[in-house]
Amino acid sequence: MVIQDRGNLANARLKGLQTDLNLNDTQYATCISVLFAGYILMQVPSTLIMNAIPKPRLFMATVVGLWGIISALTSLCDNFSDLVVCRFFLGFVEAAFYPSAVYYLSRWYTRKEVGFRIAFLNAGNMLAQGERCSSTSPSTVSRLQGLGGLFAAGILGGMENVKGIRGWRWLYIIEGSITVAFGLLLPFILADYPSSTNWLSDRERVIAQGRLVTDVGIIDNPENDEKSGSGIMRGVLMTISDIKVWALAFMYFTYIMGLSFASYMPTITATLGFSTTITLLLTFPPWAFATVYALANSWHSDRTGDKFWHIAGAYGFAILGYIVALTANTVSGKYVSLFGMCMGYSGGIIILGWISTSIPRPPIKRAASIAFINAFANIGQVRQFISVGLTIAFAYRQYLISQNEKLDRGEAEAYITDEEIVKQSADLVHATIQQEEVLVHSNSHKEDYSHTSLILTRHLEKGVYAYSIITLYLSCGFRSSRLTLKTSTQ
């Protein structure tokens, strides 16, 4: 339901959402990416809350219910501002579910069991693929795929103008209501943690916790100090100072970016030359097959204790799929390549399991690590990624200001010089050595903004020229490849 609610924007676009709300393509793209802004911000805080509370089922039920309500309320949007607000808070609330669910599983299952359970959690995501839209034209096939696409197709096609309400509004109302219903059921389905589940007997509680102690050697139950402000900060510091966390974060980031083909899945399928309905139906089998593969791959990874080679195998299928897609000249070859691409998703699922197995204790660190790695990997999803660059630029500006203040106080030198260089410089401009020394250490030569801007401008000009040449080359190659695809399907 997370993926379906998140992907409804792309599905609703097919039935007039963009037209009804008077969105241009830039505004539509902003609505897509702003969800990830909220999603990234709330990842770590929500998982730390999950670690601290004894009743995780109530927390997760509340989260599911809230995102269902926000999804349903999206049906009331009448303009760009309304939609941006709904999408941001949808991501903000959804952020609390996925990393919390992964952490929740790690509190019940051993290192040889958790990967398979995480695969089951992701099976729903893979079958309901439909997060983002790949096209800028409303008439083009969007990311309607998997079960989410089939479900959305039925609502959009069968409920258009029922009770005078557009089909895309019904899509949000119905799927949001279903999500709320699931949220109401969760408290009666899920258990809490092994140490806090009321309906477990004392013996069962000891067995559940003892399994985890036998697996790692330390009980998996947060201490009281881990739930305090200082304990939480200590857990966060342990997370960001661990090189394993950063390695996993970059690993998962490259996984997200490397398999971004999913954004273009229906567009790729459309090049096979079939009708829109057939195209939508054809997007489901690759994901269904990849889901079965992901479950089998994760199960075997758990049994053997190996992670790397199972990730490598999944990525190998994805790379093979890319190669076949680029070289195949037949419809069957192109379609088979989609299966290989989708199988690559299994690698990322195993990476998530690798977090819990390689950072098992303390619980606060594991919780923060799961959330941080997932948040870091999704940074690339935000089209407003330029804001990160702006933040870095501001930090750099403040650094230069502090350096200039040190120069003014005589606590630093603008340049590292020696007498020979000063003499050569003085001879070049026909000045005395004393004059040149004053000039070297004067404010006019320190690292100020004008000097920095001049250097950056020169580099920027070179970068723009290089980028223009590369873009021209790639665009020509891309257009020719599209021409080849269209010709081969006619």
Domains of the chain: 5-131+146-190+230-387 (1.20.1250.20)
Query: Is pLDDT at 94 greater than 60 in this prediction?
Result: yes
CA dihedral 183, 162, 171, 134 (to 10 degrees): 180
Give dist(CA 92, CA 82) in Å, integer.
16
Distances (CA, A) of 418 to 16, 425, 440: 70, 11, 11
Q: Residue 112 — pLDDT band, cuts 50, 70, 90?
A: very high
- What's the alpha-carbon Rg for the chain, to the nearest Å? 27
Query: Is pLDDT at 285 greater than 50 in this prediction?
Result: yes
Tens of pLDDT, residues 323-355:
998 898 888 898 999 999 999 999 999 999 999
User: Residue 426 is encoded by which pair of tokens?
Assistant: 């003085």
User: Does 62 or 459 have the greater pLDDT score?
Assistant: 62
Predicted local distance difference test score (pLDDT) of residue 440:
58
Q: Residue 400 — pLDDT band, cuts 50, 70, 90?
A: low
Q: How large a percentage of the chain has pLDDT more than 90?
A: 34
43-57, 105-119, 193-207, 257-271: least confidently modelled range: 257-271
Contacts for 400-407: CB closer than 8 Å, 24+ residues apart? 400/447, 400/448, 400/449, 400/452, 403/446, 403/447, 404/443, 404/446, 404/447, 404/448, 407/441, 407/443, 407/446
Residues 86-111 have a mean pLDDT of 91
Predicted local distance difference test score (pLDDT) of residue 459:
43
Residues 133-144 have a mean pLDDT of 34
Name the 3-class secondary structure at 197.
coil
Predicted local distance difference test score (pLDDT) of residue 267:
67
User: Residue 198 is encoded by which pair of tokens?
Assistant: 């009321």
Residues 204-223 have a mean pLDDT of 84
Predicted local distance difference test score (pLDDT) of residue 5:
55
Query: Is pLDDT at 130 greater than 60 in this prediction?
Result: no
Predicted local distance difference test score (pLDDT) of residue 107:
92
Residue reference for tokens 């309906």: 199
Residues 21-26 have a mean pLDDT of 88
Mean pLDDT of the chain: 78
Do 392 and 399 contact (CB within 8 A), yes or no?
Answer: no
Tens of pLDDT, residues 350-397:
999 999 888 888 889 999 999 999 998 887 666 554 445 545 556 666
Give dist(CA 291, CA 339) in Å, integer.
10
The secondary element (H helix, E strand) that includes residue 74 is none
Q: What is the DSSP string of 330-365?
A: SHHHHHHHHHHHHHTHHHHHHHHHHHHHHS-SSHHH
DSSP-assigned beta bridge partners for residue 165: 162
Residue 378 is classified by DSSP as: G
The secondary element (H helix, E strand) that includes residue 278 is helix 276-282
Q: Residue 41 — pLDDT band, cuts 50, 70, 90?
A: confident
Give dist(CA 32, CA 34) in Å, integer.
6
Predicted local distance difference test score (pLDDT) of residue 386:
46
Give dist(CA 164, CA 162) in Å, integer.
5
Burial (CB < 10 A; 0-12, 13-18, 19+), residue 73, is middle
Predicted local distance difference test score (pLDDT) of residue 12:
75
DSSP-assigned beta bridge partners for residue 162: 165
Burial (CB < 10 A; 0-12, 13-18, 19+), residue 138, is middle
> Phi-psi category of 193—alpha, beta or left, where left has phi over 0 and alpha has psi -120 to 50?
beta
Residues 260-287 have a mean pLDDT of 75
179-183, 204-208, 220-224, 438-442: least confidently modelled range: 438-442
Give dist(CA 222, CA 225) in Å, integer.
8
Residues 281-300 have a mean pLDDT of 91
